Chain A
Amino acid sequence: EDKVVQSPLSLVVHEGDTVTLNCSYEVTNFRSLLWYKQEKKAPTFLFMLTSSGIEKKSGRLSSILDKKELSSILNITATQTGDSAIYLCAVIGGNQFYFGTGTSLTVIP
């Protein structure tokens, strides 16, 4: 059965901390892994990773894929209260998207 597992399920940190979110997957016909940020209702796209070992970076956020370990990490440095959200990992297998349950991040001032 195809599945995507995220850890931790929830995380509470103080502003300025660095966090690492994990995503592991078992998906047939793997094509890409995506990270989304979900505040309120609509997930917003962060990164799409297709190749192993190539870091994608956007400001304080970065992500990398390890296809040998079937996993990815999302790093957020110098966290801010605006980073509080649910971070979703999704894997494209064929034309299907498989989502993890998400990591709920709370950043305390």
Chain B
Amino acid sequence: GAGVSQTPSNKVTEKGKYVELRCDPISGHTALYWYRQSLGQGPEFLIYFQGTGAADDSGLPNDRFFAVRPEGSVSTLKIQRTERGDSAVYLCASSPRPGEIQYFGAGTRLSVL
């Protein structure tokens, strides 16, 4: 695609529910990154994929967070048993290869009530 696409743009859920956030990277980009951004903060790294595998998941805050990229393109970030503290904008970025310029999607604003 022309750019990184994230859906939904906004998600409101209740505490304890499960959510999935989707990222469709730029075609041909092998590296895909997930970040979380809270108000007044820079993006906080969560996980990055090289192809289908998670090359670095050290930023995932706990085991309620999980991400997959089964075919090396679209990725899904999954959050179980959501908590109010999970409320943030979740940004996805892709780059042709790891360590190169990242191009960002518009993000998903998650609100946990």
**Which residues from chain A sit less than 8 Å from chain B, CB to CB?**
4, 6, 31-32, 34, 36, 40-45, 48, 88, 90, 92, 94-102
Contact = CB atoms under 8 A, between A and B. Distances in A.
Interface of B: 4, 31, 33, 35, 40-45, 48, 50, 55-56, 89, 91, 98-99, 101-107, 109
A43 B101 contact: no
A96 B45 contact: yes
Given A95-B48, A101-B40, A48 B99 contact: no
Contacts of A90: 102
B99 A95 contact: yes
Nearest to A100: B42
A69 B35 CA distance: 28
A42 B105 contact: yes
10 contacts: A41-B89, A41-B109, A42-B104, A45-B103, A90-B102, A97-B45, A97-B102, A99-B42, A99-B43, A102-B42
